[in-house]
Amino acid sequence: MNVLAPKRTLGNIRQLAKQIRESVDVQEYERFPVCKVVDVLEKAAIKEGNTFLEVGFEDEMGSAAGQTDQITGVITLRNDIYINLTDDGEEGRVTFVHELGHQLLHTGAPLYRVAPHINLADIECAEAQADIFACEVLIDVEWLKKNIAKVRVSDIAKHFGLPAYLLEEHIERLVINGDIAEGIQLELCFEEQFQFSLIPLQGNPLQESLALESV
Ligand SMILES: [Zn+2]
């Protein structure tokens, strides 16, 4: 769905994502504890007598993996996505954090549906804003800046638990935003085909868990 949202820069969304990361004290090289966050937020909502998360079924939700009520902020995850989330799977992780982005950024906000052929810029597109939020929560941008040229994108995505295509999209935004040098992006294009890593990882906390192949 193409939805026009109030403008949010990458910097605005990064600030919010940073607060979320700080609230669970996650280190920059650690996988963000999505299930723990779900648990904490759900318990907090129950304590207040509110609903935080619901599970829906395919016949109700169709192709939508998740949705967030724009008025109440209640997040609904499709059953299979919820199960994937409880297994700490990447689809479940990214869908939940994307919906959390909608909840925090768009609950009660004026949103306007626009024709599908109209190209919205990321700064005013509800879906792009939620994707940016998800990526910035799941990966520390400072870690990414330091390691983008050393570790394959597919391995970074695997370690931090989000789909590689989403990370690649976000890296393009980071290049535009000046967070990452443009040359890196070219390497990513080749990387898909040739699976090379520019610099072997040394002394990096991810080295063992990623088990990089040398080329
Ligand atoms: Zn969305």
Q: What is the Cα–Cα distance from 133 to 74, expressed in whole angstroms?
A: 17
Tokens of 151: 């570790």
Is the Cβ–Cβ distance between 10 and 132 less than 8 Å?
A: yes
Q: How far is the CA of 103 from the centre of ligand 1 (A)?
A: 10
Q: Are 16 and 105 in contact (CB under 8 A)?
A: yes
Query: Tens digits of per-residue pLDDT, 132-166?
Result: 999 999 999 999 998 888 888 999 999 999 999 99
Ligand 1: centre distance to CA 201 (Å): 35
Q: What is the pLDDT of residues 40-86, one digit of tens each?
A: 999 999 999 999 999 999 899 989 999 999 999 999 999 999 999 99
196 vs 2: CA distance, rounded Å: 36
CA-based nearest residue to 77, from 59, 90, 86, 64? 64
What is the pTM for the complete model shown? 0.85
Ligand 1 centre to CA of 110 (Å) is 15
